[in-house]
């Protein structure tokens, strides 16, 4: 008998393409995905799957050549680097006009209401608007205005929305975490790309980051807001969670206890190259800690961890590699679960 699963698809920018590979592996093994909850790219992939259009979406993103990707970047310098109208317009063409309550399985998209500083669940109404709001990555995509609410990426408060499926009465809850700091043995498959394209894409993103108009007060407000939201949560986390989320530093001087805030130390990681990098790296640090908090509070039956280091937040041109990686990680994780079960 097929096991009915509640699938939770987390936030993580371009790494969200790995969700497609995970779904493919689950279906290949005969699991019945009975409901789905998602955040950001998890909400997009989950919504398209619930609408029965995932094959068409996968074929589209894998068929994009390098110029196609650049053409989808509709530059904006107002509350985000990219308007997103071209990308989400194509998604609307694939999915069509459909309401969440008319999908073949229950679906929840999670967004963040910046105006009231609260989490929003979309469980009815326009699917397209729910996906667009949930995936409005701060600094990268412009927010969605809904009445007096400014809606942005749900990952700001809940990058792994397990709670919406807890009462689903499924056999298993399977969560896909795109912000894992473990599983360092996984690497993206190598797919050769013209160096000129990668250079042009990186140059474009760097240029967008250096011209975002809210790089002073609004960027500072966003960083302060995320820290304000994060502090009370991290105080509740056990030390191992905090240690795994903290950046690794190499301290100078005597070995032993870490240096104080005034002591000298060298950070191994290279710093952000632009404002866009700075905001996205800050966003990812926050998401990593919040995801671990959610996992600790509501442990799923199966946790599929995709390491966040495999690609940068905005490398959306790596769809084929990320789909293949998601499929491989899901295969390994499910192999372990099924062998322990039997």
| Residues belonging to the active site | 40, 153
Residue 126 DSSP class: B
Nearest Cα to 81, choosing from 211, 225, 201, 198?
211
Question: Residue 307 and residue 141: Cα distance in Å, rounded?
Answer: 23
Beta bridge partners of 22: none
Alpha helices in 4-53 (DSSP H): 18-28, 41-50
Task: Say which residues have a Cβ less than 8 Å from residue 95's Cβ, sequence separation at least 6.
Answer: 47, 48, 51, 53, 127, 128
Question: Cα–chain-centroid distance for residue 252?
Answer: 35
Question: Residue 18 and residue 127: Cα distance in Å, rounded?
Answer: 21
Task: Say which residues have a Cβ less than 8 Å from residue 25's Cβ, sequence separation at least 6.
Answer: 326, 327, 330, 331, 334
Residue matched to tokens 């959306």: 316
CB atoms inside a 10 Å sphere around CB 218: 14
Is there a contact between 110 and 121 (Cβ–Cβ < 8 Å)? Answer: yes
Is there a contact between 321 and 147 (Cβ–Cβ < 8 Å)? Answer: no
Question: Residue 151 and residue 113: Cα distance in Å, rounded?
Answer: 5
Reduce the DSSP state of residue 123 to 3 states and report it: coil
Beta bridge partners of 119: 112
Angle (CA) 217-223-229 rounded to 5° is 130
CA atoms within 13 A on the CB side of 284: 23
Dihedrals φ, ψ of 158, to 5°? Answer: -150, 80
- Residues present in the chain in total: 342
């Amino acid at each position: 008998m097929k096991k009915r699963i509640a699938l939770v698809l987390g936030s993580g920018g371009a790494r969200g393409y790995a969700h497609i590979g995970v779904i493919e592996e689950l279906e290949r093994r005969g699991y019945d995905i009975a409901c789905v909850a998602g955040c950001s790219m998890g909400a997009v992939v989950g919504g398209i799957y619930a609408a029965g259009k995932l094959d068409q979406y996968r074929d589209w993103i894998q068929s994009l050549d390098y110029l196609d990707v650049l053409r989808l970047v509709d530059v904006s310098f107002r509350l985000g680097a990219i308007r997103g109208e071209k990308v989400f317009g194509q998604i609307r063409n694939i999915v069509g006009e459909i309401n969440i309550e008319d999908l073949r399985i229950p679906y929840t998209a999670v967004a963040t209401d910046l105006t009231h500083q609260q989490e929003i669940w979309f469980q009815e109404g326009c699917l397209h608007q729910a996906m667009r709001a949930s995936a409005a990555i701060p600094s990268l995509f412009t927010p969605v205005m809904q009445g007096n609410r400014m809606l942005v990426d749900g990952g700001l408060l809940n990058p792994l929305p397990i709670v919406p499926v807890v009462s689903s009465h499924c056999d298993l809850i399977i969560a896909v975490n795109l912000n894992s700091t473990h599983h360092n043995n996984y690497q993206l498959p190598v797919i050769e790309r013209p160096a000129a394209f990668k250079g042009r894409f990186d140059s474009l993103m760097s240029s967008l980051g250096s011209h975002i108009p809210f790089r002073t007060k609004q960027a500072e407000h966003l960083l302060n807001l995320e820290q304000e939201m994060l502090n009370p949560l991290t105080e509740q986390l056990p030390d191992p969670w905090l240690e795994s989320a903290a950046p690794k530093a190499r301290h100078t001087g005597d070995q032993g206890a870490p240096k104080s805030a005034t002591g000298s130390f060298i950070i191994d990681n290279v710093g952000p190259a632009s404002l866009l990098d700075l905001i996205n790296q800050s966003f990812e640090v926050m998401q990593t800690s919040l995801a671990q908090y959610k996992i600790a509070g509501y442990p799923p039956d199966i946790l599929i961890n995709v390491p966040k280091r495999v690609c940068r937040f905005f490398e959306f041109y790596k769809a084929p590699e990320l789909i293949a990686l998601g499929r491989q990680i899901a295969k390994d994780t499910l192999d372990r679960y099924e062998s322990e079960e039997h």
